[in-house]
Amino acid sequence: MATKPRKTTSAKSTARSTVQKAPKPEEFSKELELSSYEDMLLIRRFEEKAGQLYGMGHIGGFCHLYIGQEAVVTGMQMAITPDDQVITGYRDHGHMLACGMNPDGVMAELTGRRNGYSRGKGGSMHMFSKEKNFYGGHGIVGGQVSLGTGLAFANKYRDNGCVSLAYFGDGASNQGQVYESFNMASLWDLPVVYIIENNRYAMGTSVERSSALTSFSQRGASFDIPGMHVDGMDVRAVKAAGDHAVKWAKDGKGPFILEMETYRYRGHSMSDPAKYRSKDEVQKMRAEQDPIEQVKQRVLDKKYASEEELKAIDKKIREIVGKSAEFALADPLPDPSELYTDILIDVNEEVTNAN
């Protein structure tokens, strides 16, 4: 692979690393408003159900809910094609659903059942779907950034025109491997979009307490990677920025950073009472910026659907989610013999399949 000519080190070198202004979001058509409403609602209701099942003891281990951040993954998904890849951390159920993974299989995995995506052996943080190009599901903070960069390297090597989306948090943005990945991605012009989901907290630590530079869109400056600051609570703004960044990467211009300003309503995980922030702060975000309420309000204002029609969508989504919980709870636990499977792979077979 040819690398681009290196720029000079003088202060006058023309870096492309400036923060770009987010494009003005276009109005959504009726179809897009309604489909984004439905997609975000599926994530919200699914996560609410997962929270309930956790409380009832049906889900063990860690469980990080995505409630509040739905517009990010929903808008980005609109900007890619099914051949493009998605990879994220442990707050991942929303990403799976957005990629089109089956809610039954995701819920079965959360509850550790046999028909879960990882046959009940992975749980909340470790699910994958080759078919849907979803590459996990990673518990090591920032680990997915290097892997997502590797996916982009493979795309470039195979010259297949695909882009990989690597999602990570504000906390992960301070990890060393993130910057090693940035350097390689820029050096080789890899087609990757780094999406920083800035939900203002890393566990109990606010960005102000943890980050020397809280403007995450500028984090690519040392590596000549442009960035953009985006309203991650507005699905239209996310899609517009996503379209721009994905085109940038697919046009061969290299990586792009999107800082999505968003918010998580629940605690970091199910065991977090969230004492590091006030109830008023959460309430204010819910009341003023909720991504689903924003779409709902526009749909009603533009008369794209009535209250009754929106209620019918909610009912349909609740049924899908209810069915996924029934499916999961009726599904048997993995057979004990599964303890000895999926531990080692036949490398030769994998290499042959990949070719």
Ligand X SMILES: Cc1ncc(C[n+]2csc(CCOP(=O)(O)OP(=O)(O)O)c2C)c(N)n1
**Candidate residues 170, 234, 259, 331; the one interacting with Mg ion per rule CB under 5 A:** 170
Nearer to ligand X, 74 or 199 (CB): 199
Q: Which 247-286 residues touch ligand X, going by CB under 6 A? A: 268
Is 172 a binding residue for ligand X by CB under 6 A? The answer is yes
| Residue closer to ligand X, measured from CB, 203 or 312 | 203
Is residue 203 a contact point for ligand X (CB under 6 A)?
Answer: yes
Q: Which helix (H) or strand (E) holds 259?
A: strand 256-261
Chain mean position to CA 2: 31
Contact 67, 47 (CB under 8 A): yes
Q: How many residues contact ligand X, by CB under 6 A?
A: 15
Structure tokens given for 262: 């968003």
Measured in residues, the chain has a length of 355
The count of residues interacting with Mg ion (CB under 5 A) is: 4
Task: Give yes or no for residue 201 binding ligand X (CB under 6 A).
Answer: yes
Least distance CB 138 / ligand X (angstroms) = 9
Is residue 94 within the footprint of ligand X (CB under 6 A)?
no
The C-alpha atoms of residue 242 and residue 246 are separated, in whole angstroms, by 6
Largest CA distance in the chain: 65
Q: What is the distance between the alpha carbons of residues 239 and 80, in angstroms, rounded to a whole number?
A: 10
Query: How far is CA 138 from its chain centroid?
Result: 12
Q: What is the DSSP string of 161-195?
A: ---EEEEEETTGGG-HHHHHHHHHHHHTT--EEEE
Q: Is residue 80 a contact partner of residue 73, using CB atoms and an 8 Å limit?
A: no
* Ranges within 120-149 binding ligand X (CB under 6 A): 139-141
Position 171 contacts ligand X (CB under 6 A): yes
Does the protein bind Mg ion through residue 199 (CB under 5 A)?
Answer: yes
Position closest to ligand X via CB? 169
| Pick 156 or 200: Cβ nearer Mg ion | 200
Which of these, 293, 347, 325, lies nearest to 105 by C-alpha position? 325
Quick one: which of 58, 72, 159 has its CA closest to 112?
58
Q: Shortest Cβ distance from residue 208 to ligand X (Å)?
A: 13
170 or 261, CB closer to Mg ion? 170
The residue range among 78-86, 104-112, 162-170, 302-310 that interacts with ligand X, by the rule CB under 6 A, is: 162-170
Rule CB under 6 A: say whether 170 interacts with ligand X: yes
Contact set with ligand X (CB under 6 A): 91, 139-141, 168-172, 197, 199, 201-203, 268
Q: Which residues here bind Mg ion, judged by CB under 5 A?
A: 169-170, 199, 202
